[in-house]
Amino acid sequence: MAASSANWIATHRSAVINPHKDFTLFELRGFADQTVRQPLRIAGGGEALRIRLSNRYGKEPLEIAGAHLARRTEASAIVPASDTVLRFAGAGTVTIGVGDEVVSDPVEQKVSAGEELVLSLYLPHDTGLTTYSAVPYDIGYAVPGNQLTAPSFTAAEELTTGHFLTGVDVLAPEGTAIAVAFGDSWIEGFATTPGADNSFPAQLGRRLPRGWIVNQGISGNRLLTDGIGEHLLARLDHDVLDVPGVSHVLIHIGLNDLGVPGTQSFPEPPVLPDLDDLVAGYATLADRLHAAGLVAVAATLGPYEGTVYDGADTPAGQALRHRINDWLLGPDQPFDAVLDIAAAVADPERPRRIREEYDSGDGLHVNDAGAKAIADAVDLSMLRLGD
């Protein structure tokens, strides 16, 4: 493929979180003299690829003394013949400044949609608390010392969070367009099976006749207020507008504005936003997406009555969710289309609850089957990528 007929397009994304905030729901950690190996899945193929690494929230420069990319077989195991040294401006090592992100030199390697790769990083010195993602594609692994070329890891520590990896781009044909799934745990795929790629955006992506979807969800994220990750409007530039190839944005946000203020894990007083504040936030989001020339597809807020999370389910929050959904399904909402997620997974007899067969077990998140029900409910005319 000639360079002039191809463009760099995002094929994998991981939205990242600041570990130095008071409100945390996920394990915080650092690494020192360890090799970290993290699986990822390619959403769409290309003739070459490049890796994005971030020290966005680090307190000190991040030294990476080696980075390798390989095809995965299973767990931490790689195909040794595919193991490739990543380079950064020609060098095999890189130091990422505080608040910075780096992009590797292109790797001339053809990849296909659905292919699993493994990124291995050797971190020689104490990293401090890492810039991390809450729900990575699959379990990662850490072992002592420099084991970048190991065919597999023995007695490795398993990692349930992702670290430093923020994306992969591929060199794809000119005209390729993608959607960014943007929002909270219903986007990120919390409670779906690790390594199965069964979040609803991933399952929806497999239905698309062209293009693909990358995931910029953060579990616990909110529309209006920082908490787990910066609030959605603050994330918009970095996590959507700067993503190469984006033409459509699929959004689910607002549940944590309703429920998280009442949970025991949140340190601030449990004060709900009012409807006008949320409507103004949604309108600002739609306006900014439209100003960038993007198609904005919103979603109704999913049901969560009876959730196991203490304080999340309140009469006031439920009443506000109902009003938000009515507004989103009404004539005054500012988006190009609205996906009725609530209808796709609600219990017909108790519509404030997730249907039993779709419930992950916590009353707030869907399982793989529930994510499929949402993906199957999408009218694909909402996502005409590349038209």
Q: Tell me which of 109, 135, 168 is where a domain ends.
A: 168
Cα(355)–Cα(166) distance, rounded to whole angstroms? 34
Neighbours of 108 (CB within 10 A): 10
11 plus 143 within the same structural domain: yes
Q: Give the strand pairing for 34-41 and 101-103.
A: unpaired
The tokens 């360890």 sit on which residue? Answer: 34
**Chain center to CA of 356:** 26
Q: What is the pTM of this model?
A: 0.96
Q: So what's the pLDDT on residue 22?
A: 63
122 plus 199 within the same structural domain: no
96 plus 212 within the same structural domain: no
Q: So what's the pLDDT on residue 387?
A: 79
- Per-residue pLDDT of 328-354, as tens digits, reads 999 999 999 999 999 999 999 999 999
21 plus 132 within the same structural domain: yes
Q: So what's the pLDDT on residue 264?
A: 46
205 plus 261 within the same structural domain: yes
Q: So what's the pLDDT on residue 261?
A: 62
Cα(100)–Cα(55) distance, rounded to whole angstroms? 5
Cα(245)–Cα(7) distance, rounded to whole angstroms? 8
- Per-residue pLDDT of 41-91, as tens digits, reads 999 999 999 999 999 999 999 999 999 999 999 999 999 999 999 999 999
- Per-residue pLDDT of 144-153, as tens digits, reads 999 999 999 9
Q: So what's the pLDDT on residue 1?
A: 52
User: What CATH number did the domain enclosing 103 receive?
Assistant: 2.60.120
Q: So what's the pLDDT on residue 270?
A: 64
163 plus 188 within the same structural domain: no
- Domain residues for the domain of 272 are 177-383
- Give me Rg for the CA atoms of the chain: 20
Q: So what's the pLDDT on residue 265?
A: 46
Cα(373)–Cα(77) distance, rounded to whole angstroms? 33
Task: Please identify every stretch of the chain with a pLDDT value under 50, giving residue numbers as ranges.
Answer: 264-265
143 plus 17 within the same structural domain: yes
145 plus 223 within the same structural domain: no
CA 22, 39, 191, 11 torsion-angle sign: positive
